Amino acid sequence: MATPSSLPAVIAALAANTLVTLLKFVAFFLSGSGAMLSEAIHSAADTGNQLLLFIGLKRGARQGDEEFPYGYGGERFVFGLLSAAGIFFVGCGVTVYHGIEGLRHPHATSVNVVTFVVLGLSFLIEGSALVFAARSIAAQRGSMPFFRYVREKADPASVAILLEDGAAVLGLFLAAIGIVASYYTGSPVWDAIASILVGLLLGFVAIHLVTQNRELLIGMAVPDGVEEAFVRVLRERPSVRGVRDVKSRRITPEVYKLKAEVTFDAAFLAARLDLTLPAQPGALSGAERERTLRVVADGALLAISKEIDDIEVAVRAVIPEARHIDIEVDHHIEDRLADSIRERASLRATSAEMSS
């Protein structure tokens, strides 16, 4: 399985958040600001979460084997859930708790130039990581609108990085407002309120990521329009008379599984058989009939197999992500083929009788 396209964005965000976490903890120790501590916890949670995403992407990129023939892509979503849980319990839970404690037991904060320097540097680093993540997604979306691609098709790891970096930048604004308001009013309440708002923001991000990874783990259908394109390709084949029971699943954002039950056209398959039964002086004997039926059956199986191979090539030309395609033959075709074989054998025998 190919390396996920979201990996560079995850690595960039991991490096950025590691540096920002250190800067924010330094600013907290110098200022005692609750909002700055919330931001430091926020960045520490982001760092741990992005490390989980990195592990999930690397493990999920492994090729399939006998035990897991469809590959290990689902591990990305398992680690994505763990990451989202970390955001919720550590980022949201601890931050909101700290803010509530700040409202219950307010204490004065010490604000100096170092605090604002750290905020400024953090904003530049987090903002750069956000821009990098947005550009990485934009490079993958093709002609699809940016936000629709994020909602329907983007790798959850890319969405996680985008949301976490966006929340980090917005959180820095909230922290700065809380610190400045507390400094000018002399009330630490504003700093505590900012801490709570940052925590609630992280909670929203976590819930969204849990929902997205849950859907993909359960077996979410392919994006809108893909199934329709699959059916259209099938119906355009001259061999196909009908298509039903279409199902799909996203194994990963880059790999789809598509399934359909197809009714083949008997006349088309007969034309591909290109068999000529030998003329017999009389009715076919038991051994001759058995041999004739076997030749026709082998030809029919070969014709169906070749047509299914051609269909898979045509589908992948339109849907490159369709790595696994299951074409099930309508069971009624077996009865039609048997009737056709019996009819052709009967006609041969009748012709032989008439000529004799």
Domain segments of the chain: what residues? 7-218, 226-355
Q: How far apart are CA 180 and CA 186, in angstroms?
A: 10
Q: Which residue has the higher pLDDT, 198 or 236?
A: 236
Question: Looking at residues 41-62, what average pLDDT do you find?
Answer: 83
Contact 179, 109 (CB under 8 A): yes
Contact 188, 182 (CB under 8 A): yes
CATH for 7-218, options being 3.30.465.10, 1.20.1510.10, 3.10.20.30, 1.20.140.10: 1.20.1510.10
Question: Looking at residues 157-161, what average pLDDT do you find?
Answer: 84
Strands across the sheet with 240-252, in order? 240-252, 255-264, 322-329
pTM confidence score: 0.72
Torsion 227-231-236-239 (CA) sign: positive
pLDDT > 90? residue 315: yes
CATH of domain 226-355: 3.30.70.1350
Q: How far apart are CA 218 and CA 214, in angstroms?
A: 6
| Range 104-125 burial, b when 16+ CB lie within 10 A, else e | eeeeebebeeebeebbeebbeb
Q: pLDDT value at position 259?
A: 94
Question: Looking at residues 76-86, what average pLDDT do you find?
Answer: 87
**Lowest mean per-residue pLDDT among 199-213, 245-259, 338-352:** 338-352
User: What's the one-letter identity of residue 158?
Assistant: S
